[in-house]
């Protein structure tokens, strides 16, 4: 019996594949490589010393996806596959709605048809919009400000409806805060296309000399030093939360929501200092205008994940910075061409 991992070649997917394989689970990867490269899966095999099946399949192609179900005994699914760039989602909303929603429709229809009604879904703290206070608990009101966030919220609702119609479904919705860092081997990590949108990949490229300085988007936020505060979580800790979530989904049906964060907020300037301290590298920066859509503070109350799943983050900010730096130094061009 195998666990289907959609988007398994991506940043979080590769780290999850490593944890699942190390735990002795059988996994099957499905990815269309629209934002990843097949060699990332070779690195997963190198780290774990284990083999697994992978399919170059687009979730939008129902027939190709069904073939994966026909050829394998799939019992559950971790659903990472989706497009994730906020800015791009505003420019190309139809692409985002089509890819993320239609892909999920096809996937869920097949999970249902083949009796594999257990799914862990990659949601995001973006579903909390601009929270009225922090830390955020799972019962906070939900709202979004961009098509990417809309797809996350819509998929959460679709999965809830699936369970309402058929209570054999086990749905675990993980709302990630800000995943950063890389596997300690330095073999897998985040490989953004072009100029990174997110803070940590940008800092890593500055620290290793690929870019001259970091632009800090605003220093007049309502935070301890004026720069934006987020809950950064090590990608390996995040990956481990999926294992806990699927173990629970195997035992109980229902729909459950979990914040996956550390519960600690760091500002952009805190991150710059932590990165320099952990690596010895310099991160020059300039303060520039705010980025539209950014919020002051966003960090989790992750108690529910500990209470229900027995999961909590183990790596600290120093581990995250050091592992990010190792990955970036060893792979200045990511996975390459």
Give the binding site for ligand UD1 (CB under 6 A).
84, 86, 124, 126, 149, 178, 197-199, 202, 214-217, 228, 230, 268, 291, 293-294
Can residue 258 be called a binding residue for ligand NAD (CB under 6 A)? no
Which one of 99, 104, 259, 315 is in contact with ligand NAD (CB under 6 A)?
99
Which one of 26, 39, 48, 60 is in contact with ligand NAD (CB under 6 A)?
60
Residues sharing a CB contact under 8 Å with residue 134, sequence separation 6 or more, in sequence order? 229, 265, 297, 298, 299
Q: Is 91 exposed, middle or buried (0-12, 13-18, 19+ CB in 10 A)?
A: exposed
Residue 290 is classified by DSSP as P
Name the binder of 202 from ligand NAD, ligand UD1, none, CB < 5-8 A by kind: ligand UD1
- Find the catalytic residue in 11, 128, 148, 232: 148
Can residue 103 be called a binding residue for ligand NAD (CB under 6 A)? yes
**Strand, helix or coil for residue 92:** coil
Backbone CA torsion sign across 52, 58, 64, 69: positive
**Strand, helix or coil for residue 81:** coil
Name the binder of 230 from ligand UD1, ligand NAD, none, CB < 5-8 A by kind: ligand UD1
Residue range at the interface with ligand NAD (CB under 6 A); choices 3-11, 247-255, 297-305, 316-324? 3-11
Known active-site residue 335: no
Least CB distance to ligand NAD at residue 282 (A)? 25
Give the count of beta carbons closer than 10 Å to the beta carbon of residue 137: 15
Name the binder of 62 from ligand UD1, ligand NAD, none, CB < 5-8 A by kind: none
Residue with tokens 């960090």: 299
How far are the Cα atoms of 85, 205, 288, 312 from residue 192, in angstroms, in the given order? 10, 11, 22, 27
Least CB distance to ligand NAD at residue 102 (A)? 8
Nearer to ligand NAD, 130 or 224 (CB): 130
Name the binder of 27 from ligand NAD, ligand UD1, none, CB < 5-8 A by kind: none
The 53-56 sheet, strands edge to edge: 53-56, 27-31, 2-6, 74-79, 118-124, 170-176, 254-260
Can residue 47 be called a binding residue for ligand NAD (CB under 6 A)? no
Nearer to ligand UD1, 43 or 84 (CB): 84
Q: Under a CB-based contact definition with an 8 Å cutoff, are residues 29 and 9 in contact?
A: yes
Residues serving a catalytic function are 148
Q: Which residues make up the interface to ligand NAD (CB under 6 A)?
A: 7, 9-13, 31-36, 58-60, 80-84, 99, 103, 122, 124, 176, 179
């Amino acid at each position: 019996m195998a666990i289907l991992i959609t988007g398994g070649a991506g940043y979080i997917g590769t780290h999850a594949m490593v944890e699942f394989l190390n735990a002795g689970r059988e996994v099957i990867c499905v990815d269309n490589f629209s934002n990843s490269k097949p060699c990332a899966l070779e690195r997963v095999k190198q780290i774990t010393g284990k083999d697994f099946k992978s399919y170059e399949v687009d979730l939008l192609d129902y027939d190709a996806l069904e073939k994966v179900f026909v050829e394998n005994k799939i019992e559950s699914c971790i659903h990472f596959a989706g497009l994730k760039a906020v800015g791009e989602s505003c420019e190309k909303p139809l692409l985002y709605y089509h890819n993320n929603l239609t892909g999920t429709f096809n996937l869920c229809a097949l999970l249902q048809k083949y009796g594999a009604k257990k799914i862990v879904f990659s949601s995001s703290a973006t579903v909390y919009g601009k929270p009225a206070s922090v830390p955020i608990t799972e019962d906070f009101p939900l709202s979004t400000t961009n098509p990417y966030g809309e797809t996350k919220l819509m998929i959460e609702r679709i999965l809830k409806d699936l369970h309402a119609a058929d209570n054999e479904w086990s749905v675990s919705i993980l709302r990630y805060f800000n995943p950063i860092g890389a596997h300690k081997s330095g073999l897998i990590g985040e490989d953004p296309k072009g100029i990174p949108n997110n803070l940590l990949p940008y800092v890593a490229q500055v620290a290793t000399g690929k870019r001259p300085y970091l632009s800090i988007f605003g220093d007049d936020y309502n935070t301890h030093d004026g720069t934006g505060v987020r809950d950064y979580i090590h990608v390996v800790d995040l990956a481990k939360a999926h294992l806990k979530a699927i173990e629970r989904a195997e035992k109980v049906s229902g729909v459950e929501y979990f914040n996956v964060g550390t519960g600690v907020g760091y500002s952009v300037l805190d991150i710059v200092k932590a990165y320099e301290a952990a690596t010895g590298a310099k991160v020059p920066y300039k303060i520039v205008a705010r980025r539209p859509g950014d919020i002051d503070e966003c960090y989790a109350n992750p108690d529910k994940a500990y209470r229900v799943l027995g999961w909590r983050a183990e790596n600290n900010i120093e581990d995250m910075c050091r592992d990010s730096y190792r990955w970036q130094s060893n792979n200045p061009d990511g996975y390459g061409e």
